[in-house]
Amino acid sequence: EVQLLESGGGLVQPGGSLRLSCAASGFTFRSNAMSWVRQPPGKGLEWVSYITTSGDTYYADSVKGRFTISRDTSKNTLYLQMNSLRADDTAVYYCTKDGSGWPFDSWGQGTLVTVSS
Amino acid sequence: QSVLTQPPSASGTPGQRVTISCSGSSSSIGTNTVNWYQQLPGTAPKLLIYSTTQRPSGVPDRFSASKSGTSASLAISGLQSEDEADYFCASWDDSLNAWVFGGGTKLTVL
């Protein structure tokens, strides 16, 4: 069974940094592209970032230059380094696994990031 | 403002058939496949439809989807109370070089 377990969320001041982690199990982590998707409280879904099996990375314009996605295949863990955080980054952040040609086919339970002074 | 456009709400009575639309552009739905996600209250989203028309194992065949031009739709037949949820469409956008979502449709079973 695929399991994605996010951690690292919390309260941070504007301009601060946070690193999210996603521990993956139940599938061959190195063989699947992975993404982060976020959902502000009471709102819809927004794709944040994507990393391919070969390490190529893609970002939404709203986070480009501030967030960095990475993966450690030896630890089966996905990361999201978030710098220069703003109030509008407040959201539940979901770790997702891609399928064979389609996105987000498995989701973690999410971790809440709150940016506030 | 979401790149893909969905109606904010939809409703139906048990047993009815309901459809939810998702409108995009030539660089998104017009060129790429569409995926649908179901988010039950208080839970993480779940993949409902992939590659425009395919159901993952475990998803009832009451759920179906299609695409025409730059629009897609999700149909739910034999509506049940447990179908009450938020539904989101998603597609890759070649112009934005990004995955894009619809704003979501809240389905109410009356």
Q: How far is B64 from chain A (nearest CA, A)?
A: 17
Phi-psi region of B15 (alpha: psi -120 to 50; beta: other; left: phi over 0): left
pLDDT of residue B31: 96
pLDDT of residue A84: 98
pLDDT of residue A41: 95
Percent of chain A clearing pLDDT 90 (strictly above): 96
Query: Do residues B7 and B21 touch, judged by C-beta distance below 8 A?
Result: yes
Alpha carbon distance B37, B103 (integer Å): 12
Candidates A61, A94, A99; nearest CB to B44: A94
Alpha carbon distance B35, B65 (integer Å): 9
Q: Do A103 and B35 touch (CB under 8 A)?
A: yes
B68: Cα within 13 Å, side-chain hemisphere: 3
pLDDT digits (tens, 9 = 90+) for B35-93: 999 999 999 999 999 999 999 999 999 999 999 999 999 999 999 999 999 999 999 99
pLDDT of residue B20: 98
Alpha carbon distance A98, A1 (integer Å): 15
Q: How confident is the model at residue B1 (pLDDT cuts 50, 70, 90)?
A: confident
* Amino acid at position A46, single letter: E
In this complex, is the C-beta atom of A102 within 8 Å of any C-beta atom belonging to chain B? yes
pLDDT digits (tens, 9 = 90+) for A58-74: 999 999 999 999 999 99
Q: Which residue of B has its CA nearest to A94?
A: B44
Q: How confident is the model at residue A90 (pLDDT cuts 50, 70, 90)?
A: very high
CA dihedral sign of residues A110, B76, B70, B23: negative
Candidates B35, B97, B104; nearest CB to A58: B97
Alpha carbon distance A80, A37 (integer Å): 11
Alpha carbon distance A37, A16 (integer Å): 20
pLDDT at residue A101 above 90? no
Selected residues 39-58 of chain A with any CB under 8 Å from a CB in chain B: 44-47, 50, 58
pLDDT digits (tens, 9 = 90+) for A21-39: 999 999 999 999 999 999 9
Alpha carbon distance A28, A74 (integer Å): 11
Best A104, A105, A111 residue to mutate vs chain B (most B CBs within 10 Å) = A104
Best B47, B59, B96 residue to mutate vs chain A (most A CBs within 10 Å) = B47
Contacts of B36 (CB under 8 A, 6+ apart): B22, B47, B48, B49, B65, B74, B87, B88, B89, B90
pLDDT digits (tens, 9 = 90+) for B6-41: 999 999 999 999 999 999 999 999 999 999 999 999
Q: How confident is the model at residue B98 (pLDDT cuts 50, 70, 90)?
A: very high
Residues paired with residue A11 on neighbouring β-strands, in sequence order: A114
Q: How confident is the model at residue B2 (pLDDT cuts 50, 70, 90)?
A: confident
In this complex, is the C-beta atom of B30 within 8 Å of any C-beta atom belonging to chain A? no
